[in-house]
A and B are shown apart, each in its own frame.
Chain A
Amino acid sequence: MDDLIEDFIAETRETLEALTSQLVEWERRPHDRALLDSVFRFVHTVKGSCGFLSLPRLLRLSHAAEDVLSAARDGKVEVSADLVTAVLAVIDRIAVLTEALDTGVSVYDDDEALTDAVRKHLRGKAEDLVTGSVEETAEALASEDSQLRGKSRTVRVSLNLLDNLMSGVSDMVLARNEVSRQLRKVGSNADLDISFARLSSSVAELRDAVGMMRMQHIDKLFSALPRLVRDISIELGKEIELRIDGSEVEVDREMVEALRDPLTHILRNAADHGIESADERRAAGKDPAGHIHISARQSGNQIVIEIVDDGRGINVDKLGGRAIAANVTTVGEWQKMSLRSQLNMIFTPGLSTADSVTSISGRGVGMDVVRNNLQAIGGTIELENHEGHGLKITLRLPLTLSIIAGLSVRAGSQIFGIARSSVVEMVSTSNPNVKFEELGGRKIVNIRNKRYPVKSLEDILGIAKGAHIPGDSRTLIVMRPAVGTTFVLEVAAVIDNEELVVKPGAPLVMGNGLFAGTSLPDNGRPLLLLDASGLGAAMGLSATDREDREIDSTADVESKSNGPSALLFIASDGRKQAIRLSAIERMEDIDVAQIQYVGGRTRVSADGGLYDLWEYESAPDDGLVKVLKLSDGDSACYLAVGDVMDIFSITGDIVPSAHPEQHEGVVYAFGEPVELLNMFAFFETSDRRRRNRGSEALCFIDCSEDAQWERTILAPLLTASGYAVSFDERDQSHAAIILHRDVAKAREQANDPRTLHLRDSNHSLSEPIASIYRYDGAGLISAIEEKLAGRV
Chain B
Amino acid sequence: MTNILYLIADLAGSLVAIESSQVESIVHLPDVVPVPNCDPSVAGIFALRSRVLTLIDTQFHITGVQKIAPKGALAVVTEIAGHQYGLLVDKVHDVVPMTIEHAESKIRPPAVWNPYVEQIATHGGELVMILNTEALVSGQTALAA
List the interface of chain A (C-beta within 8 A of B): 167, 170-171, 173-174, 414, 460-463, 503-509, 511-512, 514-515, 518-520, 524-528
Kindly list chain B residues whose C-beta atoms are within 8 Å of the C-beta of A507: 81, 83, 139
> Is B52 a contact partner of A520 (Cβ separation < 8 A)?
yes
Kindly list chain A residues whose C-beta atoms are within 8 Å of the C-beta of B36: 414, 461-463
| Chain A residue at minimal CB-CB distance from B31 | A525
| Chain A residue at minimal CB-CB distance from B35 | A509
> Is B41 a contact partner of A518 (Cβ separation < 8 A)?
no
Kindly list chain A residues whose C-beta atoms are within 8 Å of the C-beta of B54: 505-506, 508-509
* Given known A520-B47, A524-B47, A528-B45, contact A508–B39 (CB-CB < 8 A): yes
List the interface of chain B (C-beta within 8 A of A): 30-31, 33-39, 41-42, 45-47, 49-52, 54, 56, 81, 83-85, 137-139
Kindly list chain B residues whose C-beta atoms are within 8 Å of the C-beta of A414: 33-34, 36
Kindly list chain B residues whose C-beta atoms are within 8 Å of the C-beta of A174: 49-50
What are 20 A-B residue pairs whose CB atoms fall within 8 Å in the complex? A167-B49, A171-B50, A174-B49, A174-B50, A414-B36, A460-B37, A461-B36, A463-B34, A507-B81, A507-B139, A508-B39, A508-B54, A511-B38, A515-B35, A518-B52, A525-B31, A525-B33, A526-B52, A527-B33, A528-B33
- Decide if the interface of chain A is mainly helix, strand, loop or mixed: mixed
Shortest Cβ distance from residue B132 to the other chain A in the assembled complex, whole angstroms: 16
Kindly list chain A residues whose C-beta atoms are within 8 Å of the C-beta of B42: 508-509
Complex Cα–Cα for A503 and B53 (A) = 10
* Given known A414-B34, A526-B33, contact A508–B41 (CB-CB < 8 A): yes
Kindly list chain B residues whose C-beta atoms are within 8 Å of the C-beta of A515: 35
Complex Cα–Cα for A245 and B81 (A) = 38
- Decide if the interface of chain B is mainly helix, strand, loop or mixed: loop
> Is A525 a contact partner of B83 (Cβ separation < 8 A)?
no
Shortest Cβ distance from residue A602 to the other chain B in the assembled complex, whole angstroms: 34
Complex Cα–Cα for A461 and B34 (A) = 11
Complex Cα–Cα for A170 and B50 (A) = 6
> Is B46 a contact partner of A526 (Cβ separation < 8 A)?
yes
CB-CB nearest 4 A-B residue pairs: A461-B36, A170-B50, A506-B54, A506-B83
> Is A512 a contact partner of B37 (Cβ separation < 8 A)?
yes
Complex Cα–Cα for A505 and B37 (A) = 15
Complex Cα–Cα for A506 and B52 (A) = 10
Shortest Cβ distance from residue B20 to the other chain A in the assembled complex, whole angstroms: 21
Shortest Cβ distance from residue A330 to the other chain B in the assembled complex, whole angstroms: 34
> Is B49 a contact partner of A171 (Cβ separation < 8 A)?
yes
Kindly list chain B residues whose C-beta atoms are within 8 Å of the C-beta of A508: 38-39, 41-42, 54, 56, 137-139
> Is B47 a contact partner of A525 (Cβ separation < 8 A)?
yes
Complex Cα–Cα for A511 and B137 (A) = 12
In this complex, which of B35, B39, B85 has the most chain A Cβ atoms within 10 angstroms of its Cβ? B35
Kindly list chain B residues whose C-beta atoms are within 8 Å of the C-beta of A514: 37
In this complex, which of A504, A506, A514 has the most chain B Cβ atoms within 10 angstroms of its Cβ? A506
Complex Cα–Cα for A509 and B33 (A) = 12
Kindly list chain A residues whose C-beta atoms are within 8 Å of the C-beta of B138: 508
Complex Cα–Cα for A463 and B44 (A) = 14
Complex Cα–Cα for A511 and B50 (A) = 23
Shortest Cβ distance from residue B81 to the other chain A in the assembled complex, whole angstroms: 8
Kindly list chain A residues whose C-beta atoms are within 8 Å of the C-beta of B35: 509, 515, 528
Shortest Cβ distance from residue B76 to the other chain A in the assembled complex, whole angstroms: 15
Kindly list chain A residues whose C-beta atoms are within 8 Å of the C-beta of B139: 507-508, 511
Kindly list chain B residues whose C-beta atoms are within 8 Å of the C-beta of A171: 49-50
Complex Cα–Cα for A520 and B33 (A) = 11
Complex Cα–Cα for A414 and B49 (A) = 21
Kindly list chain A residues whose C-beta atoms are within 8 Å of the C-beta of B46: 526
> Is A512 a contact partner of B38 (Cβ separation < 8 A)?
yes
Shortest Cβ distance from residue B68 to the other chain A in the assembled complex, whole angstroms: 14
Kindly list chain A residues whose C-beta atoms are within 8 Å of the C-beta of B83: 504-507
> Is B137 a contact partner of A520 (Cβ separation < 8 A)?
no
| Chain A residue at minimal CB-CB distance from B42 | A508
Kindly list chain B residues whose C-beta atoms are within 8 Å of the C-beta of A504: 83
Complex Cα–Cα for A414 and B37 (A) = 13
In this complex, which of B42, B45, B50, B84 has the most chain A Cβ atoms within 10 angstroms of its Cβ? B50
Kindly list chain B residues whose C-beta atoms are within 8 Å of the C-beta of A461: 36-37
* Given known A506-B85, A508-B137, A511-B139, contact A520–B37 (CB-CB < 8 A): no
Indicate which residue in B31, B37, B52 contacts A503 across the interface (CB closer than 8 Å): B52
Complex Cα–Cα for A170 and B41 (A) = 29
* Given known A414-B34, A506-B83, A526-B46, contact A511–B39 (CB-CB < 8 A): yes
Kindly list chain A residues whose C-beta atoms are within 8 Å of the C-beta of B31: 525
| Chain A residue at minimal CB-CB distance from B139 | A508
> Is B51 a contact partner of A167 (Cβ separation < 8 A)?
yes
* Given known A504-B83, A518-B52, A526-B52, contact A509–B34 (CB-CB < 8 A): no
Indicate which residue in B37, B38, B39, B45 contacts A526 across the interface (CB closer than 8 Å): B45
Complex Cα–Cα for A167 and B46 (A) = 16
Complex Cα–Cα for A126 and B46 (A) = 71
Shortest Cβ distance from residue B49 to the other chain A in the assembled complex, whole angstroms: 5
